[in-house]
Amino acid sequence: MTPDLSREGLVALLRLEDFSPVYEEADRVRREAVGDAVHIRALLEFSNHCRRKCAYCGLRAPRRDLPRYRMTPEEILSSVRAAWAVGYRTIVLQSGEDPWYTPALLGEIVREIKKATGMAVTLGCGELSREAYAALRQAGADRYLLKHETADEDLYQSLHPDGTLRERVHCLRTLKALGYETGSGFMVGLPGQTLDVLAKDLLLLGDIPCDMAGIGPFLPHPETPLKGAAPGSAELTRRCVALARLLLPRANLPATTALTVRGDNGRVFSGGANVVMRKITPNAYKRQYEIYPAQLPDTDIPAQRALLEDQIRSLGRVPL
């Protein structure tokens, strides 16, 4: 099939009664462009402090009931070493927007990780200045994740009182220009979102163009203004991942944790995904880092890596 990937074409595809030909095409494109490997990334959530008030997020600044934590550089390095020892070769360091970690301190942590392990370092620490992004790149950071969340300006504004879509896209273009492998992504099923908005989300990924894209279902958090909203559909999310594969054949597309929470790991791999992230956040902190409610098991870095490798092999794919 030759799918129509214009805005109107994407809406028509998302609406299809039978999407299976598109999944097959996405799987074929994935195999040809990036092969059968599934890259397993270690995800360390090193601070749950955040100065922003995103309406959907369990870490939003107005939450006074949430115990906040910051991992020390030594704790971070110890977790990273434990992941490296069992085969992880990429570490994703994620936090809320927490200026306590200055670019100089973050850069020092990145340098230490590079020196100790040589791992690829992905950062996901929110919107920073061009100078800060450049300094972190200079320190050795390889990739940066900054989801745009929704490409509709009005919806973006209603969810993000302290930012604009324009600023977010500007950050993404800056990251790209600085030579980062740049990741964006969005949520599926946000209140007020239409299929046309999802088409815009997909096209924005191509426009940046992103090297990675995390697409997950919206899951309402009970301590946020969106607590009463319905969760996003796993099927519609998988459709978006498949269409992202068609738009960006060589991109790294994770089966996001949120989709795993919706019970859908294997199926998303057959529809275009080639990356999975495993949280290695220490148990003392893990429950305090819930952007959405997840009820994830305790962290056991070696056992969870081994289990995931087995699951990937059972799908006929190659864990890396």
Backbone φ and ψ of 141, nearest 5°: -65, 135
137 binds ligand SF4 (CB under 6 A): no
97 binds ligand SF4 (CB under 6 A): yes
54 binds ligand SF4 (CB under 6 A): yes
Stretch that binds ligand SF4, among 25-33, 53-61, 102-110, 133-141 (CB under 6 A): 53-61
- β-bridge mates for residue 176, sequence order: none
Question: How far, in Å, CA of 305 to CA of 48, rounded?
Answer: 24
Shortest Cβ 163–ligand SF4 spacing (Å):
8
Exactly one of 59, 197, 255, 268 binds ligand SF4 (CB under 6 A); that residue is: 59
148 binds ligand SF4 (CB under 6 A): no
Exactly one of 39, 60, 221, 279 binds ligand SF4 (CB under 6 A); that residue is: 60
Stretch that binds ligand SF4, among 11-19, 48-56, 183-191, 304-312 (CB under 6 A): 48-56
Q: How far lies 156's CA from each of 26, 53, 125, 222, 231, in Å?
A: 28, 12, 19, 20, 18
57 binds ligand SF4 (CB under 6 A): yes
- Binding positions for ligand SF4, 266-295, rule CB under 6 A: 291
Stretch that binds ligand SF4, among 4-12, 47-55, 102-110, 306-314 (CB under 6 A): 47-55
Shortest Cβ 246–ligand SF4 spacing (Å):
28
Nearer to ligand SF4, 139 or 159 (CB): 159
Stretch that binds ligand SF4, among 55-63, 175-183, 249-257, 269-277 (CB under 6 A): 55-63
Shortest Cβ 284–ligand SF4 spacing (Å):
19
DSSP strand E in the chain: where? 37-47, 90-95, 120-124, 143-145, 181-188, 212-217, 254-255, 275-279, 318-319
Long-range contacts of 133-138 (CB under 8 A, 24+ apart): 133/171, 133/174, 133/175, 133/178, 133/180, 134/178, 135/103, 135/104, 135/107, 136/103, 136/106, 136/107, 136/110, 137/178, 137/179, 137/180, 138/107
Shortest Cβ 114–ligand SF4 spacing (Å):
25
What tokens appear for 314 in the block? 């059972």
Shortest Cβ 60–ligand SF4 spacing (Å):
4
Half-sphere exposure of 303 (CA within 13 A, CB side): 4
Question: How far, in Å, CA of 269 to CA of 124, rounded?
Answer: 23
CA 136 and chain centroid, separation? 19
126 binds ligand SF4 (CB under 6 A): yes
Exactly one of 52, 89, 111, 267 binds ligand SF4 (CB under 6 A); that residue is: 52
25 binds ligand SF4 (CB under 6 A): no
By three-state DSSP, how is residue 72 classified? coil
CB 280 within 8 A of CB 299: yes
With CB under 6 A as the rule, give the number of residues binding ligand SF4: 10
Shortest Cβ 208–ligand SF4 spacing (Å):
19
Q: What is the DSSP string of 151-173?
A: S-HHHHHHH-TT--HHHHHHHHH
Binding site for ligand SF4 (CB under 6 A): 50, 52, 54, 57, 59-60, 96-97, 126, 291
